[in-house]
């Protein structure tokens, strides 16, 4: 059975996008070699990336570009190499390498994907995907990077969840740039 994890950055006040849908606050930190190595290490792994339409469009507009390859070569290589799945009711086609467009029922499709064999699946961004899958217990691990900035307004990745989802902290790690990684699993 494949594991599904979510990796997202949030502001200190709990927003993963600002009021305009922008996530650049997560990348405007001082240089930190340890953080850079952590990000590069994550990108060099295997598995499948899972996106909603908005995150897919954002990622596909940056990672295949020469600017991305120059700024973050290891991350760009990983993002372009990995298999990607995008769930969308409105997209007609996808153009980013190794990407498959899925239009079926999100919950049923993710259950099918998890039941298969292979490496893990990672949700990046895609708050609407997170908020639809979390109540069904389909996310095995929540990896949240708290970025030391207050946005004041924005969107949480758990909008619309109607009941509490108890989680337990499994590990944490702080970085010199002020980012803190918190990893949670659902409580049984």
112-159 pLDDT per residue, tens: 999 999 999 999 988 899 999 999 999 999 999 999 999 999 999 998
Average pLDDT over the chain, rounded to whole? Answer: 92
Residue 166 CA: distances (Å) to CA of 24, 54, 128: 29, 28, 19
Q: What is the rounded CA–CA span in Å between residue 79 and residue 59? A: 9
Query: Tell me, what's the pLDDT at 24?
Result: 85
In terms of Cα–Cα distance, which of 185, 181, 183, 186 is closest to 9?
A: 181
In terms of Cα–Cα distance, which of 23, 63, 62, 31 is closest to 145?
A: 23
Q: Which domains can be identified in the chain, with CATH numbers?
A: 12-186 (3.40.430.10)
41 has pLDDT over 90: no
Would you say the pTM of this structure is higher than 0.85? yes
Structure tokens at 13: 């006040």
28 has pLDDT over 80: no
Query: Tell me, what's the pLDDT at 101?
Result: 96
Instruction: Check: CB of residue 88 under 8 Å from CB of residue 66.
Output: no
Indicate if the alpha-carbon torsion angle 185, 121, 106, 97 is positive or negative: positive
Instruction: Check: CB of residue 137 under 8 Å from CB of residue 186.
Output: yes
Q: What is the rounded CA–CA span in Å between residue 120 and residue 47? A: 5
Q: What is the rounded CA–CA span in Å between residue 162 and residue 139? A: 16
46-100 pLDDT per residue, tens: 889 999 999 999 899 999 999 999 988 988 998 999 999 999 999 999 999 999 9
Strands 180-186, 121-124: parallel, antiparallel or unpaired by DSSP?
unpaired
Paired residues of 52 in beta bridges: 87
**3-state DSSP call for residue 171?**
strand
């Amino acid at each position: 059975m494949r594991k599904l994890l979510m990796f997202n950055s949030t502001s200190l006040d709990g927003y993963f996008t600002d009021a305009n849908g922008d996530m650049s606050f997560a990348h405007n930190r001082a240089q930190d070699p340890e953080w850079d190595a952590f990000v590069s290490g994550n990108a060099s792994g295997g598995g499948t990336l899972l996106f909603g339409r908005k995150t897919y469009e954002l990622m596909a507009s940056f990672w295949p570009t020469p600017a991305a390859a120059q700024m973050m070569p290891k991350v760009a290589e990983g993002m372009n190499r990995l298999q990607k799945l995008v769930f969308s009711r409105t997209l007609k086609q996808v153009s980013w390498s190794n990407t498959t467009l899925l239009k079926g029922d999100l919950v049923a499709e993710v259950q099918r994907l998890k039941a298969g064999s292979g490496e893990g699946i990672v949700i990046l961004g895609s708050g609407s995907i997170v908020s639809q899958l979390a109540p069904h217990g389909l996310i095995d691990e929540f990896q949240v990077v708290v970025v030391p900035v207050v946005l004041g307004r924005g969107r949480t990745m758990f909008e619309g969840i109607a009941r509490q989802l108890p989680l337990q902290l499994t590990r944490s790690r702080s970085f010199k740039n002020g980012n803190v990684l918190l990893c949670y699993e659902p409580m049984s």
